[in-house]
Chains A and B, each alone.
Chain A
Amino acid sequence: MTRWMLPGFLAVGVIATLVLIVGPAIYAVSLSFYDAPSLTSEPQWVGLAKYAAVLQSAEFWNALWNGIVYAGLSIVLQVVLGIGFALLLNQRFFGRTLLRGVAFLPYLLPTVIAVLTFKWMVDGSLGIVTITMDDLGLPPIYWFETETASMVSVILISVWLWTPFVTTTFLAGLQTVPQQLYEAARVDGAGPIRRFFHVTLPSLRPILTVIILLRSVWMFNKFDVIWLTTQGGPLGATEHLPVLSYRKAFTLYDIGSGAAVATLSFVVLMAVVSLYFLLFPMEKAK
């Protein structure tokens, strides 16, 4: 009995990994070679036809570009703001502990709630942002109606929700930077800005590498913010690969194309991640 405990645990691991992850992933890729208008009808093998059609469509390249813009801009903002907030929260001041908690709160909110609250705040007639801008004599912004404004909206919501991840991780990293380094830099006459670029950033580069890698992966895959805010509109201005994939599979009932788009987005991601590991080898990061 006891002898079988560890092999038993491992067997559970193998089965769970196969059933929950490997199996569905292989099935997803195989679905992309079939034409399946519904789940009940018999799927037809079509080979690479779905990929050919997807790669030749303008909507795929539009979605890929939108995804790069959305992920790229929101990651840059999250990292810059997150590091700024972490540096602030690392100072000594009255109420610091409380502020650290408050700064973390957005990360806990379900995306749905962040989106709904944003929509409520910019509501055309009753929203506090709309009213305040009107009082200040500023022209109204049509948050979800123009192409630029809707991209800005989804980026703003994403940055607000996930900056705390960067703040908290970077703040924890700041505690590990040896104080002697700062003192040595101070003796050499380095001001706060030089100390940040010559001591803090080099010391925290491994942590920063991991943060940027993880956030890139997640932002590129993130479906819910855009779907809940604009559903990819107006006119495809915010449609990225996850939304395109969902729309193909679940509103146009073309499961093969949906799976093909999802597989392609995984391939793009793997390419980016591999490039990243090539440029910043993991052993340095550990």
Chain B
Amino acid sequence: MTPSRIAGRAGVYVAAVVLAVYSAFPIYWMIVSSLRPTQDMLMNPTLVPDRLTLDYYISLLAQTDYPRQFLNSLIVAVSTVVLTMVLSIMIAYGVTRQRIRGKQMIIGGMLYAYMFPPLLLAIPLYAMFAKVGLNDTLLSLVISHLTITMPLGVWFLWGFFKTMPFELEEAAMVDGCTRLGAFLRVVLPLSVPGLVTVAIFAFLLSWTDYTFALVMIGSDANKTVPLGLASMVGAFDLRWGDVMAGSTLIALPLFAAFVMLSRYFVQGLTAGAVKG
């Protein structure tokens, strides 16, 4: 190897270390802070903790509304994913397969929904929910999350179904399937990568949402984790250990899901369809 090549390799590794520290250090520090005894946190915040404790997790789960908020977040995110899947599969399939004029309007509407400031939708939705008595409910949050996740799902699946040849369903129908049967037995199984991508991103958007929750939810009983954590920091008695423990607990499921499904994330991102 020539000296310039060696310098080049060294440069690559130095850059790699810089990127690793830049991306991971805040996350590392969040996890470490949630595990460090209070004594050490106040007096001796070493880079690698000397002692570990689960005290913050125990007090978070036993003494705060965190478990309730976690359950709320889960209910909202799962409901959002299920409704997003059902609606966007139906709409995207209808749009790609039915010959009718004006159906492009639906896709156009979805694309424009992407440009909307979330607050432009949150203000009227809040007013509408207040009128029908749905304000401050988990259902109101699910419906408002759908305004982001459904356009995403339709846009993404529309592109997916479009590339799938009609002949597949026609062959199944010749073999005696109904259209619904052909759809359920042929189209959906072949669309699994697209469906997984949409489900992941719908979950991600709902699970991490703060803006809509802030507008829609007023009572402590209906707060989701992002909203609950944010109000913990507003509180007078600031307990960083508890806050970091709560943050770690909400981040870890996301990391685990990412490790299992990373290639779908990349697929979804490169389709350019993912709001964030």
Contacts and interface: CB of A to CB of B under 8 A. Distances in A.
Contacts of B121: 21, 24-25, 28
Contacts of A165: 269, 274, 276
B266 interface: yes
Contact of A110 (B106, B119, B250): B250
Nearest to B147: A20
B109 A21 contact: yes
Interface residues of A, number: 91
Contact of B128 (A14, A27, A241): A27
A263 to B, nearest CB: 7
A210 B269 CA distance: 12
Contact of A228 (B16, B230, B269): B230
A164 B268 CA distance: 13
B20 interface: yes
A252 interface: no
Nearest to B93: A9
B247 A111 contact: no
Interface stretch (A45-53, A58-66, A115-123): A115-123
Interface in A230-282: 241-242, 245-246, 249-250, 255, 258-259, 262-263, 265-266, 269-270, 273
Given A91-B12, A104-B265, A270-B115, A28 B120 contact: yes
Given A31-B123, A108-B258, A168-B270, A103 B19 contact: yes
- Give the dominant DSSP class at B's interface: helix
B150 A95 contact: no
A16 interface: yes
B117 A39 contact: no
Interface of B: 9, 12-13, 15-16, 19-20, 22-24, 26-27, 29-30, 33, 41-42, 45, 87, 90-91, 93-95, 97-98, 100, 103, 106, 109-110, 112-121, 123-128, 130-131, 143, 146-147, 150-151, 154, 178-180, 183, 204, 207-211, 214-215, 225-227, 229-230, 233, 240, 243-244, 247, 250-251, 254-255, 258-259, 262, 265-266, 269-270, 272, 274-276
A116 B229 CA distance: 9
A214 interface: yes
B266 A172 contact: yes
B255 A105 contact: yes
Contacts of A141: none
A10 B229 contact: no
The 7 A-B pairs at the shortest CB distance, nearest first, are namely A9-B94, A13-B91, A110-B208, A27-B124, A10-B94, A6-B98, A172-B270
B12 A117 contact: no
Contact of A262 (B109, B120, B143, B233): B120
A70 interface: no
A212 to B, nearest CB: 12
A120 B240 contact: yes
Interface string A90-121: 01010110010111111111111110111111
A118 B210 contact: no
- Give the dominant DSSP class at A's interface: helix
B119 A246 contact: yes
Contacts of B23: 102-103, 105-106, 164
Contacts of A91: 12
16 contacts: A6-B97, A105-B24, A108-B251, A109-B254, A113-B226, A113-B229, A117-B26, A117-B244, A160-B22, A160-B26, A168-B266, A172-B266, A221-B117, A246-B119, A262-B120, A262-B123
Nearest to B244: A120
Given A104-B265, A112-B210, A112-B226, A273 B115 contact: yes
Interface in A161-219: 162, 164-165, 168-169, 172-173, 210-211, 214, 217-218
A111 B254 CA distance: 13
Contacts of B26: 106, 114, 117-118, 121, 160
A117 B272 contact: no
B119 A223 contact: yes
B94 A25 contact: no
A123 B12 CA distance: 33
A95 B47 CA distance: 23
A12 B91 contact: yes
A44 interface: no
Contacts of B147: 20-21, 24
A116 B239 CA distance: 12
A95 B251 CA distance: 23
